[in-house]
Amino acid sequence: MRLQDKVALITGASSGIGRETALLFAKEGAKIAAVDIVDDLGQETVALIKNNGGDAVYIHADISKAADCENMVRLAEETYGKLNVLFNNAGIMHSGDDNAMTTEESVWDLTMNVNLKGVFLGCKYGIPALRRAGGGSVINTASFVALLGAATPQIAYTASKGGVLAMTRELAVIHARENIRVNALCPGPLKTELLMKFLDTEEKRQRRLVHIPMGRFGEAKEMAQAALFLASDESSYMTGAEFVVDGGITAAYVTPL
């Protein structure tokens, strides 16, 4: 198994990429600290892992709060004795996120607090734990919109994910000699509840689909497979990378017919 004897902390583990990754990592031998604020669904993720013979614990944490992030890492170490993989995956996409003129300051602040500050706090408390374990892998969920502008305006989300990408590069350089790798997973548009709530009309969905050469939205399971590669020793010479899994959207210049 590709993550045998590893301990992985995954934020946003109640649904979407987080849940699929938790299930896959557990199947590959990792013990899982599943973190979220949606307790019933987070507990459901843990139950699914245990029902399949895996080992997992649920931890409630609001990643925009330092005390919660410190506590989630502490509980993961107390439960399993170490931390080898930190997947800073949790994020939001606010329905009120639009262009710079119409997006409310409160929407901007909330998005930054969760999507960008949350990754910073995860690393602030998680990287020392990886050091204590002798090294490990940090995976930060960015987005294809960190690399190009979105057809449907979402200024706060786009800016937050650009920040995640820049922070990932810097952390990778800082910790490269400590056997700690830091990479960014950049998903394309996915068929997840998070995006579908934002693309809430057929017109909005088609505005995205028309730019994707593969002609479909990605699946959370496909992102989990990418995260597994970054978490495993198979990516041992990768750090500071933009791991783009996007159906070709960032490669497309003209709309395919």
Is 13 a residue whose pLDDT tops 70?
Answer: yes
| Domain assignment of residue 178, yes or no | yes
| Domain assignment of residue 255, yes or no | no
| Domain assignment of residue 118, yes or no | yes
CATH code at position 168: 3.40.50.720
Return all residues near 44 (Cβ < 8 A) that are at least 6 apart. 14
Mean pLDDT of 30-53: 98
Which segments within 63-197 are labelled E, that is strand? Answer: 85-88, 136-141, 180-187
Taking only the tens place, the pLDDT of each residue in 169-215 is 999 999 999 999 999 999 998 888 777 777 788 887 887 788 889 98
| Domain assignment of residue 137, yes or no | yes
How far is the C-alpha of 33 from the C-alpha of 11, rounded, in Å? 8
CB 66 within 8 A of CB 121: yes
Is 254 a residue whose pLDDT tops 70?
Answer: no
How far is the C-alpha of 35 from the C-alpha of 169, rounded, in Å? 24
pLDDT of 206: 82
Is 157 a residue whose pLDDT tops 70?
Answer: yes
Domain that holds residue 176: 7-244
CA 226 from centre of chain = 11
The pLDDT > 90 percentage for the chain reads 85
Give how many domains the chain has, as a whole number. 1
pLDDT of 150: 80
The strand order across the sheet containing 56-60 reads: 56-60, 31-36, 7-11, 85-88, 136-141, 180-187, 242-245
Which is it for the CA torsion 29, 25, 48, 140, positive or negative? Answer: positive
pLDDT tier, 255 (very low <50, low <70, confident <90, very high otherwise):
low
How far is the C-alpha of 198 from the C-alpha of 215, rounded, in Å? 19
The question of whether 157 is a catalytic residue gets the answer: yes
How far is the C-alpha of 173 from the C-alpha of 194, rounded, in Å? 31
Most confident of 83-87, 147-151, 192-196: 83-87
| Domain assignment of residue 180, yes or no | yes
Amino acid occupying residue 16: G
| Domain assignment of residue 163, yes or no | yes
Is 159 a residue whose pLDDT tops 70?
Answer: yes
| Domain assignment of residue 117, yes or no | yes
| Domain assignment of residue 254, yes or no | no
pLDDT of 199: 78
pLDDT of 220: 96
Is 240 a residue whose pLDDT tops 70?
Answer: yes
How far is the C-alpha of 52 from the C-alpha of 65, rounded, in Å? 32
Lowest mean pLDDT among 3-12, 112-121, 194-203: 194-203
Is 149 a residue whose pLDDT tops 90?
Answer: no
Catalytic residue, chosen from 58, 80, 157, 253, is 157
φ, ψ for residue 45, nearest 5 deg: -60, -45
